[in-house]
Amino acid sequence: MVHQMANQFPIELHCIDTWAGGVEHQSGGVVESDMPTVEERFKHNIAKAMEQAAHRVDLHVHKSFSDDALAKLMVEGEKNYFDFIYIDGSHQAPDVLLDAVLAFRLLRVGGLIVFDDHLWSETIPYGKDPLRCPKPAIDAFVNLNFRKFQIITAPLYQIVVQKLSD
């Protein structure tokens, strides 16, 4: 999530992750011991990006489940605060829907939300499970809130919406 006042810097960046992997990682052969490597790669890449940024980046890393971190930001008064939110966490439909609802409350009018992995699905022995992919949650959120935003673009795996009202 990013907050930046028009033409003012620094850029405020909030990253939320558990670095524990999701359900699909556990069944897909990624063991928990691999996740510290993923976290270290994130730290390395974010440090490198911050060094190259034109302006100072005020980084906030929340090592937490997204619903806890997003709710905490709400309690801390960050409602209608963020300019840009990228949702790419859990692929479980209930988690994605909760992230979408909380993120929308945190987004200022005019801000953008990008939903990633819209058409992602997990290969499991008994076929696709609609509760184990983001699409039903993203579609439900879009359908229930269509008067409050406009869809900017919707390529296959991402949907970008701009908030028009609360």
In the predicted model, what is the mean pLDDT of the chain?
88
CATH number at residue 88: 3.40.50.150
Count of domains in the chain? 1
- pTM, rounded to two decimals: 0.85
Q: What is the DSSP letter of 42?
A: H
C-alpha dist (Å) from residue 31 to 35, 53, 61, 123, 124: 7, 34, 23, 18, 17
Residue among 51, 56, 71 nearest 13 (CA)? 56
pLDDT at 10 over 80: no
Separation of alpha carbons 116 and 95, rounded Å:
13
At residue 18, φ and ψ (nearest 5 deg) are -90, -25
Separation of alpha carbons 114 and 141, rounded Å:
13
In tens, the pLDDT along 42-70 reads: 999 999 999 998 888 999 999 999 999 99
In tens, the pLDDT along 89-112 reads: 888 999 999 999 999 999 999 999
The confidence score (pLDDT) of residue 121 equals 87
The confidence score (pLDDT) of residue 23 equals 67
Q: What strand order describes the sheet that includes 107-116?
A: 57-63, 11-17, 2-3, 82-87, 107-116, 158-163, 149-153
Among 8-17, 29-38, 80-89, which is the least confidently predicted range?
29-38
- Provide the domain limits for residue 153: 4-163
